[in-house]
Amino acid sequence: MGRPRTQRLIACLICGKEFLAHPSAILKGRRYCGRDCRYKAEMNQKETDFWPLVDIRGEDECWPFIGYRDPNGYGTFGSENRKHKAHRIAWELTYGELTSNEVVRHFVCDNPPCCNPKHLRKGSQSDNVADTVSKGRHARGLKHSLSLQGKSGILTRYQVKLIRHFYATDEFSHKDIANAMGVSKATVQSICARRNWGWLSEGEPEVAW
């Protein structure tokens, strides 16, 4: 039996393998045999478009992104519907694809616009939270961190506000925050729901995110 008349045999633009595609899919831009080749094509295009927007300096220096930066100083790259942090793109172009659960951290320089792959490290959301806490990026205005007794143990006002801030970003789960802060998941849930420390004002830590 021959192939359905509604499909056409075309060659993948990346690997050259022939595959069947519906004419409507071809008209919408399908030119690749599968996800891997489509990803390679996207990376090839990003390689062309991305690096001219990076001020590439010495091997060990920061490489600042010179395109658009968000209010916190992080480079942003991509279309209106698919924007990504520039340092994440720099990592993927250099080392390979990341999963949706992985983040890229400024491990060496802690400089938001930097895109030097040597300054970046791959990690989890919990690693990212822990980095932020250890480097004190949220402590401005709350560095006095008065220790008070909460129902789940001793935390500081700063730590409680930080927990609520991280959860409000929708980027971190209760478990991520609990692992990074060294408390139980139940404690984080109680704080975020304001069952514990409910009297503490809504003011948030200042963020360099």
pLDDT digits (tens, 9 = 90+) for 56-100: 999 999 999 999 998 878 999 986 567 889 999 999 999 988 887
Nearest-5° angle of CA 95, CA 101, CA 104?
Answer: 45
**Residue 102: beta bridge partners?**
124
Q: Distance between CA atoms of 105 and 122, rounded to whole angstroms?
A: 6
**CA-atom Rg of the chain in angstroms:** 23
Decide if 35-133 and 138-192 have a common fold. no
Look-up: residue for tokens 């996207």?
42
* CA 183 vs CA 39, 177, 186: distances in Å: 39, 8, 8
Domain boundary assignment for the chain:
1-33, 35-133, 138-192
**Residue 18: beta bridge partners?**
11
Closest C-alpha to 143, from 162, 125, 130: 162
Pick the CATH number of 35-133 from 1.20.120, 3.90.75, 3.40.109, 3.40.630: 3.90.75
State the pTM of this model.
0.56
Q: Which fold has domain 138-192?
A: Arc Repressor Mutant, subunit A (1.10.10)
Q: Distance between CA atoms of 97 and 39, rounded to whole angstroms?
A: 9
pLDDT digits (tens, 9 = 90+) for 104-132: 988 888 899 999 999 999 987 667 666 66
Q: Distance between CA atoms of 100 and 89, rounded to whole angstroms?
A: 13
